[in-house]
Amino acid sequence: MTEITDELVIRGNHIKNRIVMPPMVTFSFRGDNGSYYGKQHIEHYTKRAIGGAGLIIVQATSVFGAVDSTGMWSTGDIAALKQIVSNCHAYGATIMLQLHCGNMNINEFSTEEIHSMQRNMKQAALRACEKGFDGVEYHFAHGFTLCKFLDASYNRRTDQYGGDALNRARVLTQILPDIRNNTHKNFIVGVRMGEYLPESKDGIEAARAFEKAGIDLLHISFGMEPPANPVPEGFICSPMTYSGCKIKKEVNIPVIAVNEIRKEEQVRFLIENDYVDLVAVGRGMLADPEFANHVINSEPVNTCAGCKRCFWFTDHTLCPARSEE
Ligand SMILES: Cc1cc2nc3c(=O)[nH]c(=O)nc-3n(C[C@H](O)[C@H](O)[C@H](O)COP(=O)(O)O)c2cc1C
């Protein structure tokens, strides 16, 4: 039986347990001197590393120099991100950065615009590697630009970036060899995506296309829309979490499941029954930075209050479950 404290080795990185902090933007945090990342982010991620998370995936960070999104270009951003990496490493967490391509209409992109985005996607991975991150996760979920490539009904392109799953995944798989050639051998390249794109078979085909191309890790959330599929009797987590379990059966690379996992019982259920390799706990870990240690030690968890729209997006000080941040 797999234990939640069993390590998982991905590309030579020893992830010390099976509990992941998924990417979560915190727009009320501010960097110093106009940078996006700063002291608040450093404290935020360091606390979750102290709290026992085995893998931390730092929030969506734009690959473009967009002004309205967290980026990684200014001296302040670079210094803060480096500090986040070294603090998380010091507490034994593996750390990745989520890379995001905004929310654009991919059907209107010229080929040159796609190539330009791919250059930015690659450069961002290289910068993350230079800053010491153990890997990157490309954000192919939640209806954003990269998700639109993967969705078989949204993507109406007739060139090599539209059509079958191999084509729809090409925006990343085409640049993967170049990323590999310019990063060290242990650098993880992962993908966050959904299962329903728009049918389950489309998500399965996309997952297999990524696996075939050499992607190391899949993180299954949702695609254009959250799923409403039924879960089998006795499955004690959400339909979205079940999506992760379904993809896990179809590929031989590690899979993370996520969504509304709040209780020790659910974490153990998913890992001990080998439904998935890793379990991500988002709002649960915002409410309780020590979530991982509490679950590992079977101690009470400070539970997320389940607000309709999480206050951490806009003003974390309003979170009713928040402790001191
Ligand atoms: C405040 C907040 C910010 C989020 N930001 C991101 C993000 O940057 N990238 C992403 O892929 N998902 C983001 N998400 C989604 C989470 O990673 C996670 O999938 C979602 O909250 C469901 O998991 P949970 O029920 O454990 O919170 C965010 C969620 C919250 C609550």
DSSP string, 162-209: SSSHHHHTHHHHTTHHHHHHTS-TT-EEEEEE-S-SSSHHHHHHHHHH
How many Å apart are CA 168 and CA 151, to the nearest integer? 8
Look at residue 101 and tell me whether its pLDDT is greater than 70: yes
State the pLDDT at residue 29: 92
Q: Is pLDDT at 190 greater than 70 in this prediction? A: yes
Q: How far is CA 258 from the centre of its chain?
A: 10
- Rounded mean pLDDT, 271-287: 98
Which of 19, 20, 24 best tests ligand 1's pocket when mutated (most atoms within 8 Å of CB)? Answer: 24
| pLDDT at residue 76 is higher than 90 | no
Domain-embedded: residue 21: yes
- Total of domains in the chain: 1
Q: Which residue has the tokens 């993180």?
A: 219
Instruction: Say if CB 304 and CB 263 are below 8 A apart.
Output: no
Pocket of ligand 1 (CB under 6 A): 22-25, 59-60, 98, 139, 141-142, 192, 221, 258-261, 281-284, 310, 312-313
- Decide if 324 is inside a domain: no
Residue 83 and residue 37: Cα distance in Å, rounded? 10
pLDDT of 34 reads 81
Of the candidates 123, 1, 137, 17, the residue with the CA atom closest to the CA atom of residue 63: 123
| Atom number, ligand 1, closest to the C-alpha of residue 262 | 26
Amino acid identity at 274: D
Q: Hey, which residues does 189 pair with through a beta bridge? A: 136
C-alpha torsion sign, points 254, 258, 262, 263: negative
Distance between Cα 315 and ligand 1 center (Å): 15
Helix (H, G, I), strand (E, B), or coil: what is residue 309? coil
Euclidean distance between CA atoms 189 and 111, whole angstroms:
24
| Residue 3: inside a domain | no
Instruction: Please say whether the dihedral angle defined by the alpha carbons of residues 306, 310, 311 and 312, taken in this order, is positive or negative.
Output: positive
Burial of 12 (0-12, 13-18, 19+ CB in 10 A): exposed
Q: How far is the CA of 275 from the centre of ligand 1 (A)?
A: 21
263: left (phi over 0), alpha (psi -120 to 50) or beta: beta
To test ligand 1's pocket by mutation, which of 20, 21, 25 has the most ligand atoms within 8 angstroms of CB?
Answer: 25
**Does a structural domain hold residue 325?**
no
Please, are residues 258 and 244 in contact by the beta-carbon 8 Å criterion? yes
Closest by CA position to 187, among listed 137, 117, 256: 137
Q: What is the pLDDT of residues 289-313, one digit of tens each?
A: 999 999 999 999 999 999 988 999 9
CATH number for the domain spanning 116: value is: 3.20.20.70
pLDDT tens digits for 36-53? 899 999 999 999 999 999
Asked if 29 and 275 touch (Cβ cutoff 8 Å), the reply is: no
Tell me if the pTM is above 0.85.
yes
The CA distance from 20 to 220, in Å, is: 13
Which residue's CA lies nearest to atom 18 of ligand 1? 282
Taking the centre of ligand 1 as the mean of its atom positions, its distance from the CA of residue 153, in whole angstroms, is: 24
Output the CA 115–ligand 1 centroid distance in Å.
28
Q: In this structure, is residue 2 part of a structural domain?
A: no
Structural domain harbouring 268: 8-318
| Half-sphere exposure of residue 279: CA atoms within 13 angstroms, side-chain side | 36
Residue 37 counted as domain residue: yes
**Residue 147: inside a domain:** yes
| Residue-wise pLDDT tens digits, 195-232 | 999 999 999 999 999 999 999 999 999 999 999 888 99
The helix/strand/coil state of 9 is strand
- Who wins on pLDDT, 73 or 146? 146
Q: Is residue 110 part of a domain?
A: yes
Q: Tokens for 285?
A: 């870990």
Within 71-164, residue ranges assigned H as helices are: 75-90, 111-130, 145-150
Residue 88 has pLDDT above 90, yes or no: yes
Quote the CA–CA distance of 146 and 231 in Å, as a whole number.
Answer: 27
- pLDDT tens sequence across 115-145: 999 999 999 999 999 999 999 999 999 999 9
Contact 192, 219 (CB under 8 A): yes
Between CA 238 and CA 260 the distance in angstroms is 7
Q: Name residue 57's beta-bridge partners.
A: 96
Confidence band for 324, pLDDT divided at 50, 70 and 90: low
- CA-proximal residue: ligand 1, atom 10 (nearest): 23
